[in-house]
Chain A
């Protein structure tokens, strides 16, 4: 499968344009890194690819087709701050099952302890919550994952562990990953290829 972004332009207000004629192609057997400075528009691009922002010009296609807005979106975004993506009045079990019910082996692979499932989001740490976010994103219907700085709150060892498991799962299930970060060392370790945001953005 191929996720393509063609000539995407976007601006929040008239004064400053963020993206101009931005094009990107992603294959589902690849892990692509995207590097850029803070505030350059990486997160905005992520939101466009994952269908959160819809009023852009240009088009995002999956195998040449527009992605339908109804139903499960095949391009899933994992946010930088997991605590914001969880309803504070929900137990973790409900948070996880909102997407799908991952089997026990998969929960173990990502180091998710069963006792966490009965807790509230504010009782877990950022790293623990991020494991839930990742597990939610690897729904069987997911074709691509956009990982927007997903490991910044983790220490180096845990970062590598989590990325390794995510990449193994992605390769086994033919899920493409776009890893966004401003940490070149991390991207060099995990990615097949690295793109530089400023070079593709025609500003």
Chain B
């Protein structure tokens, strides 16, 4: 049986592809929920204890401790949950923007041109620059970062949805609906929305990793969250001072954890896409 692929052997061989996809989504979702909830429960105002400062990873402090003797594992968890909140906020707002703009584009030719122009405009500005500007304009902090990431990440989803809505609008069932005397608003709500809903959902999840990465990078650069919040970006930028002194664990573990969370969201998004739209699974 050497020609069976790896995913059809061993423990999960009795499951079909759909069940495997569902299992993957459930497990990654569970892992993210555990990270998020434990991060929320933890009080991150750790007491400073200079007797254990700058300890490398050990069984007592598996991610090591920082220059004030605080446990890095707890700070990392707190930072990740903060990142997840910002990711949720930003991706939901950006998909709402994308949906509204996609429907606006379907109203008439001028609206479509306006939306296309808006897409080109936002796509031509580097994301990180846009995020920094919006974040500063809105007074930094979590709110500023959420809005900044949301207002820079609707572009791709809008482009996809606009094309989809355009295609549905030229279908025979929509033109028939118009001949039955149905209005544009009714058609948008009843015909088009159910057909693009899965795309909106998947799009929201796939914005997530971008949102988290960008939040961390602007925070790292000092334009995002304020320094007293234990965000991953803050932790990383603080660790830069101590890296030269050999405290590699201050940057390594939080960075790795951030990467894993981003990857988990990406896995969920991809698997959901496969579940909703099997014909696209091979692309």
Give chain A's interface residues, CB within 8 Å of chain B: 50-52, 70-73, 76-77, 79, 81, 84-90, 98-99, 136, 139
Contacts and interface: CB of A to CB of B under 8 A. Distances in A.
B8 interface: no
A80 to B, nearest CB: 10
Interface of B: 171-173, 175-177, 179-182, 191, 194-195
B180 A99 contact: yes
A84 B171 contact: yes
A87 B172 contact: no
A125 B33 CA distance: 44
A70 B194 CA distance: 25
A87 B175 contact: no
A89 B181 contact: no
A86 B173 contact: yes
The residue among B171, B181, B194 with the most chain A CB atoms within 10 A of its own CB is B181
30 contacts: A50-B179, A51-B179, A52-B175, A52-B179, A71-B181, A72-B179, A72-B180, A72-B181, A73-B179, A73-B181, A76-B179, A77-B176, A79-B172, A79-B176, A84-B171, A84-B173, A85-B172, A85-B173, A85-B176, A86-B173, A87-B173, A87-B191, A87-B194, A89-B194, A89-B195, A90-B194, A98-B182, A99-B180, A136-B180, A139-B180
Contacts of A84: 171-173
Contacts of A87: 173, 191, 194-195
Contacts of A88: 195
A77 B179 contact: yes
A73 to B, nearest CB: 4
Contacts of A72: 179-181
Contact of B180 (A89, A90, A98): A98
Contacts of B191: 87
